[in-house]
């Protein structure tokens, strides 16, 4: 798997100019909008760059060539998850440093424990997105996967809009639900999100292996 990681890392280095440009934009937006934005933005960019390596592997009938190497389908799939997780973690750490530096330059109070916990909670959402993106990218390829992700986002928006309308009809029960959510502590939210990420990761990894097995056959 180390050889695959080196290959993908070298591919990412070829896009270093785009990465630097995105980093400059992220810093500018962080100063303009707020420190929290950069945490989600840069982590998401890291995920996009990592998963884009799948499209490079597909190019010019690349899968049959890769499978001539001493690797298996499972090794290939595992490497994509390791690469994506590593890219997200690195991007998140860079964003965290920039976020704290921005707060210091703005003279805003820094509360390390609360700020770090909030940053960790933000990290869960790109992790969930990774568990969705990798199987879709493997199944549909780079072009079709964008359409599929847009369709999923549209369906999610419709469901959210319908849920909001339903909540309005409920009336007073909304206040009870909000009060219940307010009682959820950050530690409880962390535990629930951890379980959710691990469960979806397991399902996503199994699906990706099935997709890859059928693709190579």
Count up the domains in the chain and report the number.
1
| SS3 label, residue 183 | coil
CA atoms of 209 and 89, how far apart (whole Å) = 23
Q: pLDDT in tens for each of the 217 residues of the chain?
A: 777 888 888 877 777 777 777 777 777 776 666 666 778 888 888 888 888 888 777 776 667 777 777 888 888 889 999 999 998 899 888 888 888 777 777 666 666 666 777 788 888 888 888 898 888 888 877 666 666 656 665 665 565 556 556 556 655 455 555 555 556 677 777 788 889 999 999 999 999 999 888 876 5
- Rounded to whole angstroms, how far apart are CA atoms 18 and 12? 10
Per-residue pLDDT, 106: 65
Structural domain containing residue 55: 2-216
Give the model's pLDDT for residue 54.
82
- Cα angle: 209, vertex 136, 20; to 5 degrees: 110
Going from the C-alpha of 193 to that of each of 39, 189, 200, 201, 213, the distances in angstroms are: 17, 6, 10, 12, 30
91 and 45 Cβ atoms separated by less than 8 Å: yes
């Amino acid at each position: 798997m180390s050889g695959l990681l080196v290959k993908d890392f070298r591919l990412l280095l070829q896009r270093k100019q785009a990465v630097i440009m995105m980093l400059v934009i992220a810093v500018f937006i962080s100063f303009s909008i707020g420190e929290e934005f950069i945490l989600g933005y840069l982590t998401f960019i890291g995920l996009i760059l990592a998963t884009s390596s799948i499209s490079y592997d597909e190019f010019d009938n690349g899968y049959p060539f890769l499978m001539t190497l001493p690797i298996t389908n499972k090794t290939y799939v595992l490497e994509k998850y390791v690469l994506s997780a590593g890219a997200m973690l690195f991007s998140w750490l860079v964003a965290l440093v920039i976020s704290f530096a921005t707060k210091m330059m703005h003279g805003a109070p820094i509360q390390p424990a609360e700020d770090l916990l909030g940053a960790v909670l933000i990290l869960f959402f790109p992790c969930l997105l990774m568990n969705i993106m990798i199987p879709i990218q493997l199944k549909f390829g780079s072009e079709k996967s964008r359409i599929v992700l847009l369709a999923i986002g549209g369906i999610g928006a419709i469901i959210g809009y319908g849920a909001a309308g339903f909540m309005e009809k409920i009336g007073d029960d909304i206040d009870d639900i909000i009060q219940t959510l307010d009682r959820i502590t950050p530690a409880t939210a962390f535990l629930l999100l951890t379980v959710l990420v691990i469960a979806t990761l397991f399902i996503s990894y199994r699906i990706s292996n099935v997709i890859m097995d059928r693709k190579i056959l």
